Amino acid sequence: MENIVSTKELITGYYNNGKFNAIPQYKINIAAKEGELIALIGSNGNGKTTLLKTLAGLQKYKSGEINICGNSPKTANKLDFAKVLSIATTELLKIAYTTVYEFVMLGRYPYSNFFGKIKNDDIEIVNMALNETGIIHKKDELLNRLSDGERQRAVIARTLSQNTNVILLDEPTAFLDIKNKFEIFNLLKTLTLKFNKTIIFSSHDINTAIHIADKIWLLKTNCIINKIPEQIIFDDDLANEFNSDYLQIDKNSGNLNFINKSSAFIGLEGNSKIQTLTKNALNRIGFEISSNKNITLNVIIEEKGNSFIWKLNAQNEIFIFNQLEELLLHLKFYKLKN
Amino acid sequence: MAKLTKHYNFFIITILIIIILVLSIIDLLNGSVKISFNDAINLLINKLDNNSLNTIFFDIRIPRIITAILSGIALSISGLLMQTLFRNPLAGPYVLGISSGAGLGVALSVMGFSAFGLNFIEVAGSGGSILAACLGSGFFMFLIFVISLKIKDVMTLLVAGMLLGSAASAIINLFQFVSSEQSLKLFVIWTMGSLTNTTWQQLALMSFTILIGVLISIFIAYPLNVWLLGDDNAKSSGININKIRNLLFISATLLAGSVTAFCGPLAFIGIAAPHIARLIFKTSNHKLLIPLSAIIGVIMLLIADILTQLPFTNFLIPINTTTSLLGVPIVLWIVLKGKKMWI
C-alpha cells in the first residue's frame, strides 16, 4: 500500500527574528498509509504541534520534503490542498452566534464558490458528518453553548465535512472527562475503519493511545519512532523516553504506572482476592511487601463469611480491623511513631 | 440562524426598514426651518413655487438625509470589518484611533499646507481631503494592526489606540498653532462633525467610494465567516489570509475614511451598530451582518441627526455629540457584559 502522508529529511521549527529554531533537533522521516489511525506522542516541547501544523502547511519548515497525497503544502494550490488535508488545532473558537450546523457547513469552504452558495451535496455531507460524530441532535445549538465533549465532536464534524483523505487533530481529547475521551477515541477509530481516512492525532494519554492506534509516532528528544504500539512496548521505547523516579512502564501491557516510594517493609499473608488491593493500598502509604519471615510487622487477611478482617501484628502486639481504611490509618500513625 | 427564526427575522427587518422611512421623513421635515408634510409632497412633485423652501429642501435636506444614510452604512460596516479583523467586539474606527488618523490627514490637508501658504483644498479639491482622510485612517489602521499582532489583550489594544489618538491630536495641535485663522476655523468645524455640508458633487464622490467599500465587504463576507474561526482554521480551509486581510483593510479604510473626510469623526456608530445587529439577529454570519449592521447604523445616525436639532429651540448640537450620547451607553454595556469578549 502506498504512503498517503510522508516526510523526507524534514526539519521543522519556527522562525524567530529571521533565525530558524529547529524543533526537534533532528530530521523527521515518517509515513502513514490509508486508513491508519496514528497517535503522535511525546513530551511537552518535543514538537508535536509543530509537526502537525507543518504537515498542514500552517507553519514554515526549513528543509526536507512533505508529501500529502502527492501534494506538498509549500507548493500546492491552497484550495486543492484543503481538499486532501484538514486539521483541527487547539485554536480557541471565540464566536458568539454560530450554530453547530453553520460551523460544520464552513468546512465546505474549499468546495464552494466565492459567495458560499450552499449546494445539495454540501447539505448531504454536513448531515452525514453531524450524524457520524453524534452531534446531529445539537445542530441548531450555538457553538459556545456546547459542553467540551460536544464541541470536540463539532470540531471533528467540521474536518469530516471538508471531505479530506487526511485529518490532523491536535490534542482532541484535552480537557475531556474520561467517558468523553474514550468516546472520541472510539469515534476516530470508527472513522478510519468506515471511511478509510488517515487520522493523525496528538495526545498525552499514552495509556489509551497504545491501545487504539494502528501506529505510534513517538517524538523523542533525539529521534522519531514510527512503529505499531506492540513493537514500541517490546522495544522498550516508551520506557527509555518516559521512565522516571515516579513513572514506570509495564513491560507486558505498556501501561504507565505510578511508582510509590516506600520507606518501610511489611509482611502480607492470606490468599484471598482482597490481597492485591491490600498490597496496592500498603504500597500507596509507603510500605513495601517483604517475604522475610523475621519481619516484625505483618498483616494477615482472614476471610470471615462474606467479609474480611485484617490482623496486624506489630512487634507481637495484635490489632484487628474490619475495614481496610482503619488498618491504613493505624499504619500511618505507626510509621510516624517509629 | 435556525429555520424557525427566518420569519421572525424577516418581520424585524421589515419593521426596521419602516423605521428608517419614518425617521428619514422626520429628519427631512425637521430643522431650523420647519417644512410641513404637505409642502414636502408638493415640493417633490414640483407644485410649490417657493424658491427658498425649494433650495432648503433639495440642496440641504435631501443631501443631508442621503449623507446620513450613506454614513450610517459606511461606519457600521467599517466597524463590523474591524471587529472581525481584531476579533474584538470593542474595535471600531473611533476607539482604535483610526478616526484620529483620518483627522490627522484632514488636518494636514486643511491646515498643514496653509502653513506653507498653500490652500490644499483649492489645489486638490474635496477629493484631496477624502484622499488625505483615507491615507490617514489607513496608516493608523495599519499601525494598530501591527500593534495588535504583539498585543493580544483586548483592553491593552484599546489603550494603544487611545495613545495613537493622542499622538494624532498632538500633531494636530501643532498644525492648529501654525495654521491660518481661516483654515483653523474650517478644521474645528470639521471636528464637530456635520452631515449638512455636503454638496451634490461631494455626495457623488462619497457614494462612489462607499459603494466600492461595500462591494469589497460583500465580496469577502464568506471567507470572513471562516476567518472568524481563527487564522489556522481559515488557512487550512484554503483561504489566502493575506489577500482577504488586504481587501478588508482597503474596504474598512475607504468606508471610515470617506465618511470622516466629509462629516468629521462620528463617534461610536461603528462599534455599536454591529453589536445591536448581532444581538437582535443572533448571527455571526457576515453575509447577514453586513446588511443588518448597515440598517442599524442608518437608524442610529438618523436618530442622532434628528437629535441635533433640539426640540422647541433653534440650538444645533454637533452631530458628534449626539452619536456619542447614543453610542457610549452601548459600548459601556459591552464592557460591563464581562469576560466573554466574543464576536
Taking a C-beta distance cutoff of 8 angstroms, is the pair A154, A139 a contact?
Answer: no
Size of interface A-B (CB pairs under 8 A): 91
Q: Element (H or E) spanning B298, and its range?
A: helix B286-308
How far apart are the C-alpha atoms of A210 and A43, rounded to whole Å? 15
Helix axes B37-44, B5-29, angle to 10 degrees: 90
Nearest residue of A to residue B237 by CA position? A82
Nearest residue of A to residue B339 by CA position? A94
C-alpha cell at B269: 456608530
CA B138 to chain centre: 14
pLDDT, one tens digit per residue, over B291-312 is 999 999 999 999 999 988 876 6
- Could you tell me if residue A134 is left (phi over 0), alpha (psi between -120 and 50 degrees) or otherwise beta? left
| One-letter identity of residue A313 | N
Interface of B with A (CB under 8 A): 1-3, 87, 219, 221-223, 225-226, 228-233, 235-240, 278, 281-285, 287, 340-343
Q: What is residue B2's predicted lDDT score, i.e. its pLDDT?
A: 46
Contact B237 A99 (CB under 8 A): no
pLDDT, one tens digit per residue, over B139-164 is 888 888 888 778 767 678 778 888 88
Taking a C-beta distance cutoff of 8 angstroms, is the pair B256, B66 a contact?
Answer: no
Query: Taking CA A174 as the corner, what is the angle to CA A172 and CA A28, rounded to the nearest 5 degrees?
Result: 60
List, as one string, the DSSP characters of B239-285: --HHHHHHHHHHHHHHHHHHHHHHH----SHHHHHHHHHHHHH----
Q: A321-325, B96-100, B210-214: which range is least confident on average?
A: B96-100
Taking a C-beta distance cutoff of 8 angstroms, is the pair B120, B128 a contact?
Answer: yes
Residue among B219, B236, B343 whose CB faces A58 most closely: B236
Tell me which DSSP letter residue A263 carries.
Answer: -
Residue among A58, A95, A102 whose CB faces B342 most closely: A95
Put simply, whether the predicted model's pTM sits higher than 0.95 gets the answer no
Count of helix runs (H) and strand runs (E) in chain A: 11, 18
List Cα–Cα distances, B18 to A15, A100, B25, B267, B303, in angstroms: 56, 33, 11, 25, 14
Tens of each residue's pLDDT in chain A, 338 residues: 789 999 999 999 988 888 899 989 999 999 999 999 999 999 888 899 999 999 999 999 999 999 999 999 999 999 999 999 999 998 888 788 899 999 999 999 999 987 788 899 999 999 999 999 999 999 999 998 899 999 999 999 999 999 999 999 999 998 899 999 999 999 999 999 999 999 999 999 888 888 899 999 999 988 999 999 999 888 888 887 887 888 888 877 778 888 888 888 999 988 777 888 999 899 999 898 888 878 889 999 988 888 888 999 988 889 999 999 999 999 988 888 87
3-state secondary structure of A175: coil
Q: How far apart are the first and last CA of chain A?
A: 65
Contact A92 B230 (CB under 8 A): yes
- Which of A14, A80, A83 shows the shortest CA–CA distance to A49? A14
How far apart are the C-alpha atoms of A312 and B226, rounded to whole Å? 67
How far apart are the C-alpha atoms of A326 and A107, rounded to whole Å? 58
List Cα–Cα distances, B191 to A208, B61, B78, B169, B172, in angstroms: 65, 21, 19, 11, 11
Q: What is the ipTM of this complex?
A: 0.83
Mean pLDDT (chain B, rounded): 83
Contact A97 B282 (CB under 8 A): yes
Contact A116 B222 (CB under 8 A): yes
Contact A99 B2 (CB under 8 A): yes
Residue with cell 506492540: A230
Provide the sign of the torsion angle of the four alpha carbons A60, A65, A71, A77, taken in this order.
positive
Burial class (CB in 10 A: 0-12, 13-18, 19+), A330: middle
List, as one string, the DSSP characters of A75-98: TS-HHHHTTTEEEE-S-----SS-
Taking a C-beta distance cutoff of 8 angstroms, is the pair B236, B73 a contact?
Answer: no
